[in-house]
């Protein structure tokens, strides 16, 4: 029976490897989501034009409500991104230390095994040297 790389999907169509999930399809999906999100933000801004008074530390001013909320959302997103980036960097450092420790442990185990093999070989050679040579009847002189 000959196997093929094509797979049947639930809808009965045949898909080949890489046909359904590619990097380009991921970019297309992300771009579509971004355009829809920007359209929703634009509608939100246009529907909330009333001004509000803002005070932050020593800064005072008036902004449209939607713009003020957009700034607050962006500040929150930057805080989440900063904390997420810090956590990712922390996990990478832990993984790097673990790999380095594992490499050192592997090297130590290999060195121990090599030393044991060398010691065993030296012991075998010493045992062979200490045994008297076996007499060979054909080389014995009478």
**Rounded Cα distance, 86 and 103, in Å:** 26
Domain containing 83 equals: 22-112
Is 121 part of a structural domain of the chain? Answer: no
Query: Structure pTM?
Result: 0.47
User: Does the pLDDT value for residue 125 go beyond 80?
Assistant: no
Specify which of 11-20, 61-70, 82-91 reaches the highest per-range mean pLDDT: 82-91
Does the residue 142 lie in any domain? no
Q: Read off the pLDDT of residues 23-55 as tens digits, 9 standing for 90 and up.
A: 888 898 999 999 999 999 889 888 888 998 988
Counted domains in the chain: 1
Residue 23, CA distances (Å) to 1, 18, 27, 35, 134 in order = 33, 9, 6, 18, 74
Distances (CA, A) of 34 to 39, 40, 85: 9, 10, 22
Answer whether residue 27 is part of any domain: yes
Residue 50 included in any domain: yes
* pLDDT score of 88: 93
Query: Can you give the pLDDT at residue 11?
Result: 60
Alpha-carbon gap, residue 120 to 125, rounded angstroms = 9
Q: In this structure, are residues 15 and 7 in contact, taking their beta carbons and an 8 Å threshold? A: yes
Evaluate whether residue 47 is within a structural domain. yes
Let me know if residue 30 belongs to a domain.
yes
The chain-wide mean pLDDT, for the chain, equals 80
């Amino acid at each position: 029976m000959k196997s093929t790389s094509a797979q049947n999907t639930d809808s009965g169509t045949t898909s080949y490897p890489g046909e359904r999930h590619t990097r380009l399809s991921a970019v297309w999906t992300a771009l579509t989501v971004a355009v829809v999100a920007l359209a929703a933000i634009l509608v939100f801004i246009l529907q909330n034009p009333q001004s509000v008074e803002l005070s932050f530390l020593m800064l005072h001013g008036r902004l449209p409500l939607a713009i003020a909320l957009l700034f607050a959302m962006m500040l929150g997103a930057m805080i989440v991104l900063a904390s997420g980036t810090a956590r990712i960097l922390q996990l990478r450092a832990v993984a790097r230390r673990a790999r380095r420790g594992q490499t050192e442990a592997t090297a130590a185990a290999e060195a121990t095994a090599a030393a044991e093999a060398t010691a065993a070989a030296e012991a075998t050679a010493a045992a062979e040297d200490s045994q008297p040579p076996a007499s060979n009847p054909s080389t014995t002189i009478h």
